[in-house]
Structure 1
Amino acid sequence: MPQYLFNNKNGGCDKILNKIISCERIILFLDYDGTLVPIKKHPALAIISIKQIKILKNLIKSKNVFPILVSGREYSDIKRLVPIKNLIIASNHGFRITNGRENWIHPKVKALLPEIKKILRTLKSKLKSFPGAMVEDKKITITVHYRNAKISSVPAIKEIVEEIIKPTSSKLKLTEGKKVFEIKPNTRWNKGKAVTRILKIERLRKKEAIIVFIGDDKTDEDAFERLDGRGITIRVGYSGDSSAKYFLKNTNEVRKFLETIESVNNIKDKQ
């Protein structure tokens, strides 16, 4: 059961800050939607603030903070929203990892692209009769949004999505998020394994660093579980079932936490 990070009684934030002050490096994994920005009715409306961009840029410029985005969004989309140089991005729930030197895509994805495109066309055709439903093309994954659809139509939307991917269930799988259905390659790959790969390819030695992961959705739970006992895991929004160690109430508190890291790090840089 996650503890509230800013609860003065348990001293969670103070404990973390003390670790940050004493460590050599902070590896900071961040989700985008629901973490850096509030979830909006349409994905295009979820725009990161100039202030948040400034914080991330300052952290990247520092000597010992290593911010990394781990998002369900498609790479070009998240890169457009967060146009920061030298920022590692794990997009499509970790199925693509880009670090400026390497553009890695999970090896099983390429063979599935024709199938994914076919399903995308079918979904758009079948769901166009449901007002508010939106099919988002993420190139190597697909997201069906139903946030703006009538509540009464959601079961029918889910049934159609399940029926469409059923013939390819050995290749593709359906998962659920916050008012979305996600269609992804049917492998054991997830954000948790993407985090492990990033730590390996960037040669980030855990003994010298504190690993922090902040996320808000079901897909982030894989990372929380992967880092259990090895990192500081923070969920945005309380959930008693979460594997995260701590929770923050909303994206405003995430910004507050990042500002605190930025402040502490500025002091360390001057030392």
Structure 2
Amino acid sequence: GIIYTGSHGFDIVGPRGLRKQVAPEFLPILEDTEKELKQKLRDIAGAQLERKRFSIAAHFREVPDERTPQVEQAVSEVAARHRKLRKTAGKKVYELQPDVDWNKGKALLWLLEAMGLDPEEMFPIYIGDDLTDEDAFRAVERCGVGIVVNEKPRATAARYFLKDPVEVELFLREILARLRDNSHS
């Protein structure tokens, strides 16, 4: 079955009733925060607000360079008014999410345990392209491997590097082909 993990691991749903939601009590706060942030960003050309279930992302990929400090200031001001949320930075994005001890790495470890997977009998591979994936790269290094996707190598906890989604697809196809070959041996 397919397992969905979204909102930086705050929302996990899978087969046979597998479900975890971290901090659902923050949903009303996030709703209010989204309205405030939408108001603050409305006059900044190119700024885009994305509401995820447990976070709010302010994307500034399309914002002219001279206006990007205004995006950060708007997000910081809203975050200061909502102290139960924390601001994180990613690739051309700032996010506000519940300020609790949870991240993609903790979600990954919870998921492995909830599925009853024995670390001695598996080898998880975590592939990510954002700074927010670093927690998962660190979490997986004991029993598996982290792979960062970025055009150029960068400082990371991931052990390996792929440069773009095309390389990710080739890598996954190669793993699948080898698994199929081994199952026929």
Per the normalisation by structure 2, the TM-score is: 0.94
CA separation in 2, counterparts of 1:251 and 1:111?
Answer: 35
The number of aligned residues is 183
What residue is the counterpart of 2:43 in the other structure? 129
Q: Secondary structure at the match of 2:124?
A: strand
Determine helix, strand or coil for the equivalent of 1:148: coil
Query: Is the counterpart of residue 203 in structure 1 residue 116 in structure 2?
Result: yes
- Partner AA of 1:218 in structure 2: L
Q: State the 1:167 CA deviation.
A: 2.1
| CA distance in structure 2 between the partners assigned to 1:252 and 1:168 by the alignment | 40
C-alpha distance in structure 1 between counterparts of 2:120 and 2:20, whole Å: 26
Answering whether residue 92 of structure 2 is matched by residue 192 of structure 1, we say no
TM-score scaled by length of structure 1: 0.65
What CA distance in whole angstroms lies between the structure 2 residues aligned with 1:189 and 1:239?
27
Paired AA for residue 126 in structure 1: K
Aligned to 2:40, the other structure's residue is in SS state helix
CA distance in 1, matches of 2:122, 2:33: 42
- Partner residue of 1:269? 183
The residue that corresponds to 2:21 in the other structure is 105
Q: Residue 104 of structure 1 aligns to which amino acid in structure 2?
A: K
Amino acid at match of 1:197: W
Unaligned runs of 5+ in 1: 1-85
SS class of match (1:229): coil
Instruction: Measure how far apart 1:154 and its partner are.
Output: 0.6
- What CA distance in whole angstroms lies between the structure 2 residues aligned with 1:88 and 1:105? 13
Distance of 2:154 and 2:62 partners within structure 1: 27
Shift, 1:116, TM fit: 0.7
Q: SS of the counterpart of 1:259?
A: helix
Aligned CA RMSD, in angstroms, stands at: 1.2
Deviations 1:94-145 (A, max 9, x none): 0011112233201xx2221111101101111111101110111113211111
Q: Counterparts of 2:64 and 2:154 in 1: how far apart (Å)?
A: 28
Partners of 2:81 and 2:42 in 1: CA distance: 21
Using the TM superposition, give the Cα deviation of residue 269 of structure 1 relative to its aligned residue in structure 2, in angstroms: 2.3
Unaligned runs of 5+ residues in structure 2 are none
Q: Which shifted more, 226-235 or 89-98? A: 226-235
Secondary structure of the residue aligned to 1:131 is: coil
Higher relative contact order (CA 8 A, sep 6+): 1
Q: Which residue pairs with 2:11 in the alignment?
A: 96
